[in-house]
């Protein structure tokens, strides 16, 4: 039933003149698959696709699947499931799998006959289980993500909980979730031995934003950001700059048009910096921190206090316009310079 439902989804996405059929395979060598799809174009060319059907697929499951059913150009493999999370889709693409779920998340790439289909379905499971309801919202989750990114493994759970100032029980539950999502690698009853910090930041950004209603206020620095940062250098009040201006100190992409600054007292800082409230044409966002962790592991750049690279990247991933592109440029710098930002 699952395979047939996926075939019907795919059939509706094919260009005119294309056909798709499915059959139960007699044998596919050492590895049994659930079905084989035959896709035929308007001419005589056709392609066979091996299908692996899963009632539930967690990202970590792919570590085993790829060892037994590795897709190659001449033998594509499609994974079908009732629902595939964004993280599962990301890992499937990275490992070379095609996929389709019943909400409309589809990716199919064939070289002969040439065909490419990619559609977006649901981002959240329409029929979630208790395991699906784990969230990375809130200050405690944010502190854990920051610690996992900023400190190199190995990390024991107690050490991680202490660094993030989070209770051990909550830490254990979140790490179990991140392990299933293939965002961390943990030995059974042992320490975390590896973290995919870039994927962690992307996953966190799905539920986190510094610009939540009530936290951010928008201003205009009439004389530009250069003069604004000159004033910031003289301040005694606690602050941390993030966003585009901060990212450009490490990985410049284009002239910065927006400076995001965390501050405990927005009104006081705006007055000290001579900022004018402005919704349209603003170039400064003053933000009340979701947690004091935004002030941890800061650096000085051109005399200005700048948030940790992991915090800057997370903030940009959630931002408007070109902000996500700036985040990717910053994370590329972070990959090449881990010793500069990771303890």
Structural domains of the chain sorted by starting position, each given as residue range(s) with its CATH number in brackets: 2-119 (3.40.1350), 134-205 (1.10.10.10), 216-341 (3.30.460.40)
Asked whether 245 and 259 are in contact (CB, 8 A), the reply is yes
| pLDDT tens digits for range 43-80 | 778 899 999 999 999 999 999 999 888 888 888 999 99
Task: Give the Å distances, CA to CA, from 276 to 229, 262, 297, 319.
Answer: 16, 17, 30, 22
Q: Which of 14-28, 92-106, 204-218 has the highest mean predicted lDDT (pLDDT)?
A: 92-106
- The span from the CA of 86 to the CA of 203, in Å, is 9
Answer whether residue 30 shows pLDDT above 80. Answer: no
- What is the model's pLDDT at position 133? 61
pLDDT in tens, 199-223: 999 999 999 999 887 889 999 998 8
Q: Which of 150, 137, 142 is nearest to 298 (CA)?
A: 150
pLDDT tens-digit map of 255-304: 788 899 999 999 999 999 999 999 788 999 999 999 999 999 999 999 99
Neighbours of 170 (CB within 10 A): 15
| pLDDT for res 112 | 87
Q: Each residue of 101-123: b (16+ CB within 10 Å) or e?
A: bbbebbbbebeeeebeeeeebee
Residues paired with residue 38 on neighbouring β-strands, in sequence order: 21, 48
Average model confidence (pLDDT) for the chain?
A: 92
Which has the closest alpha carbon to 115: 50, 52, 42?
Answer: 42
**pLDDT band at 321, cuts 50/70/90?**
confident
- The Cα–Cα gap between 292 and 180 comes to 29
The DSSP call for residue 109 is E
What mean pLDDT comes out for the span 16-40? 81
pLDDT at 320: 82
pLDDT for 78: 96
Give the percent of the chain with pLDDT over 70. Answer: 97
What is the structure's pLDDT at 106? Answer: 97
The Cα 5–Cα 18 span in angstroms is 18
In contact, 328 and 251? CB cutoff 8 Å: no
Summarised one tens digit per residue, pLDDT across range 136-170 is 999 999 999 999 999 999 999 999 999 999 999 99
pLDDT band at 239 (very low <50, low <70, confident <90, very high): very high
SS3 172: helix
CB 216 within 8 A of CB 285: yes
């Amino acid at each position: 039933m699952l395979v047939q439902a996926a075939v019907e989804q795919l059939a509706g996405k094919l260009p005119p003149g294309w056909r798709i059929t499915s059959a139960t395979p007699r044998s596919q060598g050492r590895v049994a698959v659930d079905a084989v799809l035959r896709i035929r174009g308007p001419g005589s060319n056709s392609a066979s696709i091996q299908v692996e059907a899963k009632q539930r697929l967690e990202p970590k499951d792919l570590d085993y699947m790829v060892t037994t059913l590795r897709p190659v150009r001449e033998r594509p493999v499609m994974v079908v499931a009732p629902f595939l999370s964004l993280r599962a889709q990301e890992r499937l693409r990275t490992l070379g799998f095609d996929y389709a779920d019943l909400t409309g998340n589809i990716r199919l790439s064939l070289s002969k006959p040439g065909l490419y289909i990619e559609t977006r379905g649901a981002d959240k499971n329409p029929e979630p289980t208790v395991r699906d309801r784990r969230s990375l919202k809130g200050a405690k989750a944010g502190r854990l993500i920051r610690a996992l990114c900023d400190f190199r493994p190995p990390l024991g759970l107690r050490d991680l909980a202490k660094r993030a100032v989070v209770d051990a029980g909550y830490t254990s539950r979140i790490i179990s979730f991140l392990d299933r999502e293939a965002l961390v690698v943990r030995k059974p009853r042992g320490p975390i031995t590896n973290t995919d910090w870039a994927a962690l930041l992307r996953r966190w950004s799905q539920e986190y934003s510094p610009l939540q209603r009530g936290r951010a206020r928008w201003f205009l620095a009439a004389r530009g950001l250069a003069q604004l940062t000159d004033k910031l250098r003289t301040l005694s009040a606690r602050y941390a700059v993030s966003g585009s201006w901060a990212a450009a100190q490490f990985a410049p992409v284009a002239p910065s048009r927006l400076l995001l600054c965390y501050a405990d007292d927005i009104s006081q800082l705006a007055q000290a910096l001579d900022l004018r409230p402005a919704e349209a044409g603003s170039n400064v966002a003053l933000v009340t921190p979701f947690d004091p962790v935004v002030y941890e592991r800061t650096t000085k750049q051109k005399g200005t206090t700048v948030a940790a690279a992991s915090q800057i990247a997370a903030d940009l991933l959630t931002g408007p316009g070109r902000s996500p592109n700036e985040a990717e440029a910053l994370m590329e710098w972070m990959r090449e310079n881990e010793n500069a930002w990771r303890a």
